[in-house]
Amino acid sequence: MNRKGVDFTFSWIFAIIAGAAILGAAIYITTQLIGSSDTQRDTLVAGEVANLLNPIQTNLEDNRYSVINFATDTRVYNECSTQGTFGVQRLSTSSKTRNQWSEESIRKSVYDKYLFSREIEETEDKKLHIMVNPLFAPFKVGDVISIYGAKYCFVNPPDGVEDLINDLSIDGKQDIGINKTNSINDCARNVTSVCFNRIGCDINVNTQSETVTKDGNDMYYEGDGLMFAAIFSDYEIYECQISRLMKRASELGAVYAKKAIYLQGSGCSNNLASDLQSFVLAANVSSSRDFARQVMLIAEGLERRSNELGSCRVF
Amino acid sequence: MSKGQFKIQQMVFIIVAIIILFGIVSVFFVSIRFGSLRGDVEDLRKDAVLSQVRKIAGTPEFNWIASDDCASCIDLDKVFLLKERNTYRGFWTDTSLLRVSRVYPLEESSECTTENYPKCNQITLVNSGNFEAYESFVSLCRFDQELKQNKCEIGKILMGFDTVK
């Protein structure tokens, strides 16, 4: 009787411990698999976002606008680094599932794209707005890709900016996430206000000095594309992407310098090689101030000279 | 062997059997999962190459600036000079083949070098790995030394992506 009792107790204890261990392992593995499945999905989404930026690159166009619609609320993480010859753009996402944000996905690295946004850009109504403008300095350097999910209210934008907004929104028929008003009081409370040539908004733009002031930081721009980029970006991202764009301008300048020498040898006199070499050295800047105040001046001079060359144009 | 020892042995066998069963199920599950992941990665790379091959003529490294109205014109001189620059290695991510080829008129030499340029048929910027390639027709433009003016010929861009082993 006693022996039977001991045997029964041992079996039960053994079965409970083994069962609990197996059940625990199964729950742990399942949880891990669900987590890795979320990461896998978000990593694929990050890759798809990077791919979707290819067809909207500019060719001969001045600027383009597009929207990415996501299946769920999504965060796009924008990481920029100036390390290496061209710097690197890293892109990752996380999505809201079961009312919780998943972990940041594995980062997708790209070298030929320049995303201007906040460090974490969140979709609104599951969509992200994308504005693409080419940057010429003096040749085409790349596309300035501005990404934003939040809504913006532009107070008294100048005519050029207003025309651009009208063009992109097809005269207001398409929602591009930007409203125009004449007074800051007309801006909704939950939107980011942008003042032009006056202060008092979340973001202030001075079109005379070509600066965008945000969170106490001044970002220098040249042209409407970079002005929009500065409005939608965090300061660190903006400065980093400008530096990356200038690294590419420097590399392209070196290619054009060689082309200038080659064309000179082919009977196409241009005398641009040494100026392009100077541009290559000058283009290695680390701030938007140096870009706007120094590099663009050299670029304008080079563009003028190249345009005078007719069929011997180097760029 | 006592009854108690027999019971312990029996349970050990059952646990070992359960672990083996779990192992087999896990291997099966992982193989299916990685199979689909491999497919997803290939699809992503294919999409990247397909979307890039259509637009690459407009990128700063390829675009032809002398004419303002040609979206599919490539600056052949620039592409050839680009080949000499090591800094561009790894610049085009997920691309294991990037080649510009002449379609018509064809020259005798195949790959362009400093000795035979521009009388050659192709400029290879990237060539590595096992690739699946796609192509897009373009105009190859350059300044012609003999004609003393710009000249465009028919060509194509080939882009390939690494297939997942």
List the beta bridge partners of residue A205.
A196, A212
Q: Two tokens at B159?
A: 């882009």
Domain annotation covers residue B28: no
What residue numbers bound the domain in which B119 lies?
A: 46-162
Minimal-distance CA residue of chain B relative to A269: B148
* CA pseudo-torsion sign A133, A136, A139, A141: negative
Instruction: State the pLDDT at residue A4.
Output: 52
Q: In this complex, how many residue pairs, one in chain A and one in chain B, have their CB atoms less than 8 Å apart?
A: 109
Instruction: State the pLDDT at residue A243.
Output: 97
Contact A221, A241 (CB under 8 A): no
Instruction: State the pLDDT at residue B38.
Output: 82
Q: Which of A38, A124, A113 is nearest to A79 (CA)?
A: A113
Question: What size, in residues, is chain A?
Answer: 315
Quickly tell me which residue has 């990037």 as its tokens: B98
Alpha-helix runs per DSSP H in A53-187? 159-168
Distance between CA atoms of residues A245 and A235, nearest Å: 15
Residue A197, Ramachandran bin (φ over 0: left; ψ between -120 and 50: alpha; else beta): left
Q: Which amino acid belongs to residue A198?
A: R
Calculate the alpha carbon distances from A79 to A89, A102, A139, B90 in Å: 6, 18, 26, 19
Taking CB atoms and an 8 Å limit, are B7 and A11 in contact across chains?
yes
Name chain A contacts of B57, Cβ cutoff 8 Å. Answer: 59
Instruction: State the pLDDT at residue B165.
Output: 66
Q: pLDDT category, A34, cuts 50, 70, 90?
A: confident
Q: Report, in this order, helix, strand and coil percent for chain B, each rounded to 5.
A: 40, 30, 30
CA–CA min distance A241, chain B (Å) = 16
Domain annotation covers residue B39: no
Domain annotation covers residue B133: yes
Q: pLDDT category, A8, cuts 50, 70, 90?
A: low
How many folded domains does chain B comprise?
1
Taking CB atoms and an 8 Å limit, are B65 and A14 in contact across chains?
no
Contact A108, A50 (CB under 8 A): yes
> What are the extents of the domains in chain A?
240-312
Name chain B contacts of A86, Cβ cutoff 8 Å. Answer: 87, 91
List the beta bridge partners of residue B95.
none
Calculate the alpha carbon distances from B142 to A133, A283, B155 in Å: 27, 26, 12
Quickly tell me which residue has 């206000």 as its tokens: A193
A230-268 residue pLDDT tens: 999 999 999 999 999 999 999 999 999 999 999 998 888
Minimal-distance CA residue of chain A relative to B58: A59
Taking CB atoms and an 8 Å limit, are B47 and A48 in contact across chains?
yes
Q: List the single best residue of B37, B61, B119 to mutate versus A (max A Cβ within 10 A).
A: B61
Name chain A contacts of B150, Cβ cutoff 8 Å. Answer: 311
Distance between CA atoms of residues B66 and B144, nearest Å: 13
Name chain A contacts of B21, Cβ cutoff 8 Å. Answer: none
Q: List the single best residue of A112, A136, A250 to mutate versus B (max B Cβ within 10 A).
A: A112
pLDDT means per 10 residues in chain B (165 residues)? 78 84 86 81 88 90 84 94 90 90 91 93 90 93 88 95 79
Quickly tell me which residue has 């195949």 as its tokens: B110
CA–CA min distance B94, chain A (Å) = 9
Domain annotation covers residue B6: no
Distance between CA atoms of residues A84 and A78, nearest Å: 18
DSSP assignment of B133-152: EEEEEEEEEEEETTTTEEEE
Does residue A3 have a pLDDT over 60?
no
Residue A243 CA from chain centroid, whole number: 13
Distance between CA atoms of residues B109 and B120, nearest Å: 5
Name chain B contacts of A51, Cβ cutoff 8 Å. Answer: 44, 47-48, 51
Minimal-distance CA residue of chain B relative to A88: B91
Minimal-distance CA residue of chain B relative to A48: B44
Distance between CA atoms of residues A127 and A166, nearest Å: 20
Q: Which residues contact A28 (CB under 8 A, 6 or more apart)?
A: none
Q: Two tokens at B122?
A: 């192709």
Q: pLDDT category, A5, cuts 50, 70, 90?
A: low
Taking CB atoms and an 8 Å limit, are B143 and A311 in contact across chains?
yes
DSSP assignment of A66-97: EEEE-SS-EEEEEEEE--SSS-EEEEEEEEEE
Distance between CA atoms of residues A135 and B42, nearest Å: 32
Name chain B contacts of A259, Cβ cutoff 8 Å. Answer: 75, 77-78, 81
Instruction: State the pLDDT at residue A60.
Output: 73
Taking CB atoms and an 8 Å limit, are B91 and A112 in contact across chains?
yes
Q: What is the mean pLDDT of residues A156-163?
A: 94
Geometric angle at alpha carbon B119, from B116 and B123, rounded to 5°: 75
Distance between CA atoms of residues A186 and A153, nearest Å: 9
Q: What is the mean pLDDT of residues A201-206?
A: 96
A65-79 residue pLDDT tens: 999 999 999 999 999
Taking CB atoms and an 8 Å limit, are B84 and A263 in contact across chains?
no
Name chain B contacts of A248, Cβ cutoff 8 Å. Answer: 60
Distance between CA atoms of residues A56 and B61, nearest Å: 17
Q: pLDDT category, A292, cuts 50, 70, 90?
A: very high
Contact A188, A151 (CB under 8 A): yes
Minimal-distance CA residue of chain B relative to A264: B145
Instruction: State the pLDDT at residue B9.
Output: 83
Give the relative orientation of helices A235-265 and A224-232 as an angle to the nearest 10 degrees: 150
Instruction: State the pLDDT at residue A82.
Output: 96
Taking CB atoms and an 8 Å limit, are A60 and B71 in contact across chains?
yes
Domain annotation covers residue B82: yes
**Count of beta carbons in the 10 Å neighbourhood of residue A60:** 12
Domain annotation covers residue B27: no
